[in-house]
Chain A
Amino acid sequence: MSTTAHNPDQGNVVPMDPVEMHKAKIARREKIGRWLLPIIVVVLTIYAWDRFVVLNEIPHYIIPKPGRVLEALIADWSLLIGSLGITLMITFSALTIAIIGGVGIAVIFAQSKWIEMSFFPYAVIMQVTPIIVIAPLIFIYVDSKFAGLLICAWIVAFFPILSNTTLGLNSADHNLRDMMKLYGASRWQTLRYLRLPAALPYFLGGLKIAGGLALIGAIVAEFVAGTGGVGSGLAFRILEASYRLNIPRMFAAIILISVSGVLIFMFMTFLSWLFLHKWHESAIKRDL
């Protein structure tokens, strides 16, 4: 066993003791494992799926082979990507409004306990009533399909942002609040310099949940709306394909939705890291 190791930080050979060597080895293994393990598991799952379909001679209109799904994905790409674009546009528009509305209402709640007590139940009611039962009503009252979809996705996405941001705004250190008062800070200054920054980690946590929920809200609303013709989202493609027993295309559309959800989640995680890595406990690497 060698007693020296290459240190990438210094670019030269430094002696390392066995404990350090062991730690470095574990770190290296973890770094590779973090990427390799999920990939291996996905590949094995796809292989098992393929074998299962082939060995049991399951017809492709019940469960298609992975290869057929891939074919559908390629063949229907232009159709699916257009629909994905529409679904994502609704998702991100709803998310944007949810952020503005959620943070805005949280700020209003934070100004007065009375306002919070009076209106928080409405936020909870909107959250706990399943969107699938409200959506038909919304499409009756709202003429524009797009606006209806937007409202549905917004209702689902806005609660985690509101509830987390409200909690965050109220979590500012009490001594710091006292200090603000001592220095004669205005309400606005306290909000800007203390409460909003203190709420940021909570807000970002809410955003991570809301990102996925906005996508789900958009899809569910599309199912209810059943928008046809030009300007239809992925949910409509799935419905349409199911009527035609085009199972590979259904799989392809579902995969696109899942991948989008994962990408949204990864983006939100990156956003959290971007804003918090310098100071917040959750984003700081621990050196044990």
Chain B
Amino acid sequence: MSQAPLLSLQQIGKTFSNGTVALQGMNMDIEQGSFVSLLGPSGCGKSTVLKIIAGLGNLTTGRVNWPDSKVDNHGRPDHEISFVFQEPTLMQWATVFENVWLPLRLKGMSRQAAKDQVNEALDMVGLSEFPASYPRELSGGMKMRVSIARALVTRPKLLLMDEPFAALDEITRFKLNNDLLHLWERFNWTVIFVTHSVFESAYLSSRIVVMAARPGRVVGDIDVDAPYPRDDDFRTSSAYNDYCREASEALHAAMQAGDHL
């Protein structure tokens, strides 16, 4: 268990140009292969954390360490990181295949060379029948699946998800939750999953990090020790209820802490 964490946030702080303090002195280690949910009220900087880890935002203070990976001179690790946004964020003018091909295309892979990998990714999310469809022809859940396939196609070590299922109906969300868990168990990625849903975080994650707003910071850290694979039986178990209550209370405390400031 003494394996080095995949990444380690050290005293990171972020102040936007309008003076808003999004994050202040935040420390967090993310273990290899864990499924970590960042849970918190809106405005607590959970999405900002993801963007900083992805290397998409500049830090005001602190640093992101990757103890086990080589980093380039921008401080980015040499392995693949993928990002799933809250919106499907697809290229409307491109087919499903072309959307999923994009990350490989940017690495110079031709359509032919990328074909097997793209089809495999589409297969994983259950969209192998739709490579030639355009995004507008798909339902909200299917669009999100394309977005996930695009994130998986590079075989990432770290998957960052920013409230990916928040805009979906509950039935679709449950289905995608289960599919995501199956894929995670199969491929052993590390997942950081931003959500504002207590239930979703308790169902999916091995660890819930609770954040408070103004300024964004960590106020709670809950280990969810329930074994995987989890399924709909877990959703109705008393253990799940206990985790939900614990997370809910931590979130409640976080919201009060945020209101004081």
Chain A interface residues toward B at CB < 8 A: 173, 175-176, 178-185, 189, 193-194, 197-198, 200, 278-281, 284
Contact with A along B59-99 (1 / 0, CB 8 A): 00000000000000000000001110101010111100000
The 11 sampled A-B contact pairs (Cβ below 8 Å) are A178-B54, A179-B89, A181-B55, A182-B55, A182-B56, A182-B82, A183-B102, A183-B107, A198-B93, A279-B93, A279-B135
Q: How many residues on the B side are at the interface (Cβ–Cβ under 8 A)? A: 23
Please state if B92 and A279 are interface contacts (CB–CB under 8 Å). yes
* A198 cross-chain contacts in B, Cβ below 8 A: 93
Consensus secondary structure, chain A interface:
helix
Alpha-carbon gap, A173 to B99, bound state (A): 14
Residue of A whose beta carbon sits closest to that of B72? A184
Per CB-CB distance, the 4 closest pairs between chain A and chain B, nearest first, are: A175-B89, A197-B93, A175-B85, A185-B106
**Residue B134 lies at the interface, judged by CB distance under 8 Å to chain A:** yes
Contact with A along B137-148 (1 / 0, CB 8 A): 000000000000
Known A-B contacts A182-B55, A183-B106, A193-B106; A280 and B92 likewise in contact (beta carbons under 8 Å): yes
Known A-B contacts A197-B91, A200-B93; A183 and B103 likewise in contact (beta carbons under 8 Å): yes
Alpha-carbon gap, A280 to B91, bound state (A): 11
* B92 cross-chain contacts in A, Cβ below 8 A: 279-280
Residue of A whose beta carbon sits closest to that of B160? A182
Chain B interface residues toward A at CB < 8 A: 51, 54-56, 81-83, 85, 87, 89, 91-94, 102-103, 105-107, 134-136, 154
Please state if A178 and B91 are interface contacts (CB–CB under 8 Å). no
* B154 cross-chain contacts in A, Cβ below 8 A: 183
* A281 cross-chain contacts in B, Cβ below 8 A: 136
Please name 11 further chain A to chain B contacts, defined as beta carbons within 8 Å, in addition to the given A175-B89, A197-B93, A197-B94, sorted by A numbering.
Answer: A173-B89, A178-B51, A178-B56, A179-B89, A180-B106, A183-B102, A183-B106, A183-B107, A198-B93, A279-B92, A279-B136
* B91 cross-chain contacts in A, Cβ below 8 A: 176, 193-194, 197
Residue of A whose beta carbon sits closest to that of B55? A182
Please state if A175 and B106 are interface contacts (CB–CB under 8 Å). no
Alpha-carbon gap, A69 to B201, bound state (A): 78
Consensus secondary structure, chain B interface:
loop
* B51 cross-chain contacts in A, Cβ below 8 A: 178
Alpha-carbon gap, A287 to B96, bound state (A): 23
* A175 cross-chain contacts in B, Cβ below 8 A: 85, 87, 89
Candidate in B94, B102, B107, B134 with the most chain A CB atoms within 10 angstroms: B102
Which of A181, A184, A193 is B105 in contact with, Cβ under 8 Å?
A193
Q: How far is the CB of A125 from chain B (nearest CB, A)?
A: 32
Alpha-carbon gap, A179 to B89, bound state (A): 9
Alpha-carbon gap, A280 to B106, bound state (A): 24
Alpha-carbon gap, A183 to B153, bound state (A): 12
Alpha-carbon gap, A269 to B107, bound state (A): 36
* A279 cross-chain contacts in B, Cβ below 8 A: 92-93, 134-136
Please state if A278 and B56 are interface contacts (CB–CB under 8 Å). no
Alpha-carbon gap, A175 to B94, bound state (A): 16
Q: How far is the CB of B131 from chain A (nearest CB, A)?
A: 15
Please state if B89 and A280 are interface contacts (CB–CB under 8 Å). no
Known A-B contacts A182-B56, A182-B83, A279-B135; A189 and B106 likewise in contact (beta carbons under 8 Å): yes
Alpha-carbon gap, A176 to B106, bound state (A): 13
* B106 cross-chain contacts in A, Cβ below 8 A: 180, 183-185, 189, 193
Alpha-carbon gap, A281 to B135, bound state (A): 12
* B55 cross-chain contacts in A, Cβ below 8 A: 181-182
Alpha-carbon gap, A200 to B92, bound state (A): 12
Q: How far is the CB of A116 from chain B (nearest CB, A)?
A: 20
Which of B56, B102, B136 is A193 in contact with, Cβ under 8 Å?
B102
Known A-B contacts A197-B93, A197-B94, A200-B93; A182 and B87 likewise in contact (beta carbons under 8 Å): no
Candidate in A178, A179, A181, A278 with the most chain B CB atoms within 10 angstroms: A179
Q: How far is the CB of B79 from chain A (nearest CB, A)?
A: 13
* B82 cross-chain contacts in A, Cβ below 8 A: 182
* B85 cross-chain contacts in A, Cβ below 8 A: 175, 179
Residue of A whose beta carbon sits closest to that of B94? A197
Candidate in A182, A184, A197, A284 with the most chain B CB atoms within 10 angstroms: A182
Alpha-carbon gap, A56 to B102, bound state (A): 70
* A200 cross-chain contacts in B, Cβ below 8 A: 93
